[in-house]
Structure 1
Amino acid sequence: MKEVIYTDQAPAPIGPYSQAIKVNGFLFVSGQVAIDVAASGDIQAETRKVMENIGAILQAAGLDYSNIVKASIFVKDLNNFGAINEVYGSFFTSESGAPHHPARETVEVARLPRDVNVEISVIAVAV
């Protein structure tokens, strides 16, 4: 059975898609952006907001960052790779302090919705 996940703690979809879909123990989170923060030009603040949006959706599904098994990062300027990694990586520390990083790819793209600088989508699994 498929369940649509929605929270008002993350941006509402700007098109015909859901924030996330939960099916067979998997959660597929649509690409998240930080519309309000993007205009500031601070890639770390933008990345942090994107990850907080993802966290809100995970929470609405009864999951957290430790449930993420796969992430896709789309970025307008790959020169921001290090700054994005610094923030992104800070969201994946276990209670013991050891990192638990999901599988991932990072792709530079020509343009993103609403002219943001970074978009991240994830797949999580209830274990």
Structure 2
Amino acid sequence: MRLFFYVLNKTEYLDTLLDEFAHNGINGATIIESTGMAKILSSKYDEDELPFLASLRNFLNPERENSYVIFMIIEDEQLNKVVDIIENIVGDLTQDNNGVVFSFPIDYAKGIKRNGK
């Protein structure tokens, strides 16, 4: 099993992603609304106070207020399928603003239903 995370920047795709996960037997996701550090700092400080903000502003999407962090426990063999679903909907994750994925192996879990078990 793996604990899988996806930071979804393009929040308009949330429902589509969740629907596609469900249609592929990938269930049990939790979604948390989030805001990145750069976004918060850019709203609190001027460029002269934190000079690196000038370069960060070029990468920030001012229309986007928040992101979503989607996390879920998946089977190891589902990892590639989950990433494929994400990239088919939001685009190549190596491109700017399409989000970030990462996962960790789980060495202990209790109370999780796994494929009807």
Greater C-alpha radius of gyration: 2
Q: Which has the higher strand share?
A: 1
**Structure with more relative contact order (C-alpha pairs < 8 Å, separation 6 or more):** 2
Report if TM-score (shorter chain) is over 0.5.
no
